[in-house]
Amino acid sequence: MSTNETLRAVVAVPLKEEHCRLIERLEPRVELVRDARLTHPMRGPADWSGDPHHTRTAQEQAEFDAMVDSADALFGIPDVDPAALARTVAANPRLRWVMTTAAGGGGQVKAAGLDRGALERVVFTTSAGVHGGPLAEFAVFGVMAGAKDLPRLARQQAERRWTDRWEMRQVDEMTVLVVGLGGIGAECARRFHALGAEVWGTTRSGAPVDAVDRLVPLDDLERAVAEVDAIVVTLPGTDQTHHLIDEKILAAVKPGVILASVGRGSVIDEAALRGALDDGRVSFAALDVFEVEPLPADSPLWRHPNVLVSPHTAALSSKEEERIARRFAENATRLLDGQSMRAVVDTVEFY
């Protein structure tokens, strides 16, 4: 696009008016179309899919479809529904760009089942990196909870039992392996490095990353896990990452390793993880993501004494909506100026 062009962008998910105005202020060439009547209201911060009990009349649905079908670009997948994305991509030949509000939006794009022509015509970007800080804090919290044996402390407090003292592990004496050095992983590395840990990180490219003391090729993951005290998993869910942390990897870990998971639940084979927790290979696991969400009530992970279950809530922040609005404005500027955009979805691996 030339610098004189404008971009008709439609807000396809709930977004506060203050954040709409922020986008318009940051990139005045964006014609931002929105109608709060037609999107499902948020129930809390960054509730992009909105209230599932809210319904549109037939007339409102027709208006909503017409609105999203008029877009050059979409802020959000309509209703965060892959089927709605497929419908509007087919109906709207002028659509050129869709930004997903999820960091792992590639999975939503894959679920839409678009043909290769559509995937080549439309650029898909995600909010990857926007959630890095909150997720990195949860990873630090999880490793610290394992290092200080939070389950033991909680049990003793519940029993009002004062025991002999015992030695807790120190993060500044630990080696932490970050599996995945994207936006979230880089933030994890920075925080663990600041706490004095030696930080290792897996890499495909081999390019250096700030605060990472040692780069580990993914092919060397099995050898690396035998030498580290904590593993932080930040990878997206793709066919290539599915069950990357499997029985083979967990059999190779240094006994007593701490595990924190803040990427996608499909990266870890939960059956293998349960075995490793049961025999002590993994001393503690702090999990914000799971293979099936919501985590089924009959999952043994709920009751495991050395597991901390978080309902995929670690990334939630009242600032998330503003950060994603700023990301949209930044990428709109890049698109209009003919520059490469941030966090473009790989439409082969869908991450």
Other CB atoms within 10 A of residue 188 CB: 33
Q: Looking at 87, 193, 312, 326, which residue is catalytic? A: 312
Q: Would you put residue 344 in left (φ > 0), alpha (ψ -120 to 50) or beta?
A: beta
Tell me whether residue 330 is one of the annotated catalytic residues: no
Q: Looking at 264, 274, 323, 327, which residue is catalytic? A: 264
Q: Looking at 5, 18, 173, 293, which residue is catalytic? A: 293
Tell me whether residue 322 is one of the annotated catalytic residues: no
Tell me whether residue 291 is one of the annotated catalytic residues: no
| Structure-token pair, residue 119 | 């995937």
- Read off the DSSP letter of residue 240: T
Residue type, 196: G
What is residue 26's three-state secondary structure?
helix
| Structure-token pair, residue 318 | 């009242």
Residue type, 340: S
Between vectors from CA 232 to CA 295 and to CA 172, what angle results, nearest 5°? 135
Give the Cα separation of 335 and 148 in Å (integer): 48
Helices (H) and strands (E) in the chain, counts: 12, 12
Give the Cα separation of 201 and 280 in Å (integer): 24
Distances (CA, A) of 225 to 106, 159, 232, 281: 28, 35, 11, 11
Other CB atoms within 10 A of residue 201 CB: 25
Catalytic residues: 264, 293, 312
